[in-house]
Amino acid sequence: MTIVTDPPKASFRVSQLIYDTRYRSITFQIAALIGFLILIGWLISNTAQNLADLGKEPSFGFLAEPAGYDINQRLVDYDNQNSHLRAAFVGLLNTLLVAVMGCAAATVLGVTIGVLRLSKNWLISRIMTVYVEMFRNVPVLLWIVLIMAIIIETLPQPRDFRGADPQASMALFDSVAFTNRGFYIPEALFSRSLGDIHLFGASAMRFDVSLDLLALVAVLLAGLWASARIKRNADAVQEATGVRPTVWHFRLGVVFVPLLAVLVLLGFHLGYPALKGFNFQGGTHMRNSLIALWLALSLYTAAFISEIVRAGILAISKGQTEAAAALGLRPKRIMNLVILPQALRIIIPPLISQYLNLTKNSSLAIAVGYMDITGTLMGITMNQTGRELETVMLGMLIYLLISLSISLVMNWYNNRVKLVER
């Protein structure tokens, strides 16, 4: 009996690069890498050639030049002698402003509609279905320009508010004016203000933060923290003795009394808009473009959020509700302790990706003339300086950074709430 063994294969043949699974993956990857690098190199060389032909050296020097255009809706100081970089920064803040406002409104509206769609009331759930289908199946850009057109065509002009017998009048006890140039709302003023702190000195990124606002936020956070401490103590007492002490009035007081005290100390009052000449003075002016963009993005995204909320609640199996009821929990506690914690795990990731969509959709501001980062950097700055490559690349980079930071938050949350299986 002899044992036949394969002769040792010492030699390496070229065909092994393709047919031997040990080497094949490396071969493929090297081929892919070479192809990718060739593609990139080809694009870069084309770009360099084309730019040289046009006589444009790629440079970001234009960012320091005076912008020369005005931005009517802004959160920080700006005039047309400031640099393009400053204009882009103002635009970025405007993007973030409409994104934050839109996310807040869309969440409130979307959750309400999602819950109402699950209502046992046939009529209500049908109305909400019509809302969702109507907004989901029509482009958001159409909603934006439609709402803008409605504001311009149907709301009164500021001059209609003039005279002894005006055609239009202000709403909410003369505090808010809805005009076709935008909404004028009261602003918060402090007669004993703490002043502002100026961040980033004289650079293009400089902005002021109101110390009053910081103080209010700090007091609010401290109050919430104290309230949470009281709740924890009450929980501990309940664990130990079985009797839950009544603490809700302490918890409310510890949040609101210091807040009110600070407001009084700072001399808080509202500055109302008033008609002076041909336009309103005082108060905060929200431009019609901001209103149109905000409303359209919120209404549109709310339709998607309501579907997410509905799906999240429906995804919790009926057995969970029944088991909780069998444990003797009341319906409200079943919702709070059993359904919602599980539904939130399903709802939050797609909800955050809707926030991301809303932020990206806010770039459609350019259609109604709201000066966000697209309107400033990739709009007027690009047209004035002719720097298409630099402005579009910079704009994409900024959006990419915003998106990546939102997805980082989402990944962190996903990892935190992930069910550990097997």
As measured in angstroms, the least distance from the Cβ of 264 to other proteins is 39
Distance CA 135, CA 296 (A): 9
Distance CA 319, CA 252 (A): 36
As measured in angstroms, the least distance from the Cβ of 400 to other proteins is 4
Residue 261 or 400: the one with the smaller Cβ distance to other proteins is 400
Q: Which two tokens stand for residue 147?
A: 């709402």
Residues paired with 327 in a beta bridge? none
Given a contact cutoff of 8 angstroms between Cβ atoms, the answer to whether 190 and 266 are in contact is yes
Residues paired with 207 in a beta bridge? 199
As measured in angstroms, the least distance from the Cβ of 417 to other proteins is 18
The SS3 call for residue 198 is strand
Residue 42 or 200: the one with the smaller Cβ distance to other proteins is 42
Given a contact cutoff of 8 angstroms between Cβ atoms, the answer to whether 117 and 125 are in contact is yes
As measured in angstroms, the least distance from the Cβ of 203 to other proteins is 26
Tell me the residue type at 261.
A
The angle subtended at Cα 37 by Cα 33 and Cα 40, nearest 5°, is: 140
Residues that bind other proteins (CB under 8 A): 18, 25, 28-29, 32-33, 36, 43, 46-47, 49-51, 53, 119-124, 127, 133-134, 136-142, 145-146, 149-150, 153-154, 360-361, 363-364, 366-367, 374, 378, 382, 388-389, 392, 395-396, 399-400, 403-404
- What Rg do the C-alpha atoms of the chain give, in angstroms? 30
Residue 120 or 249: the one with the smaller Cβ distance to other proteins is 120
List the one residue out of 220, 286, 216, 217 whose CA is nearest residue 254. Answer: 220
Buried/exposed 385-402: b ≥16 CB within 10 Å, e otherwise: bebeebbeebbeebbeeb
As measured in angstroms, the least distance from the Cβ of 1 to other proteins is 32
Distance CA 61, CA 54 (A): 17
The angle subtended at Cα 293 by Cα 312 and Cα 119, nearest 5°, is: 30
Residue 281 or 405: the one with the smaller Cβ distance to other proteins is 405
As measured in angstroms, the least distance from the Cβ of 26 to other proteins is 9
Residue 46 or 233: the one with the smaller Cβ distance to other proteins is 46
- 3-class secondary structure for 91-104? HHHHHHHHHHHHHH
Residue 327 or 400: the one with the smaller Cβ distance to other proteins is 400
Residue 122 or 412: the one with the smaller Cβ distance to other proteins is 122
Tell me the residue type at 54.
L
As measured in angstroms, the least distance from the Cβ of 220 to other proteins is 33
Tell me the residue type at 346.
I
Handedness of CA 110, 111, 115, 116 (dihedral sign): negative
As measured in angstroms, the least distance from the Cβ of 127 to other proteins is 6
Residue 214 or 404: the one with the smaller Cβ distance to other proteins is 404
As measured in angstroms, the least distance from the Cβ of 46 to other proteins is 5
For residue 67, the surrounding DSSP H or E stretch is none
Given a contact cutoff of 8 angstroms between Cβ atoms, the answer to whether 291 and 182 are in contact is yes
Residue 46 or 193: the one with the smaller Cβ distance to other proteins is 46
As measured in angstroms, the least distance from the Cβ of 39 to other proteins is 10
Residue 342 or 363: the one with the smaller Cβ distance to other proteins is 363
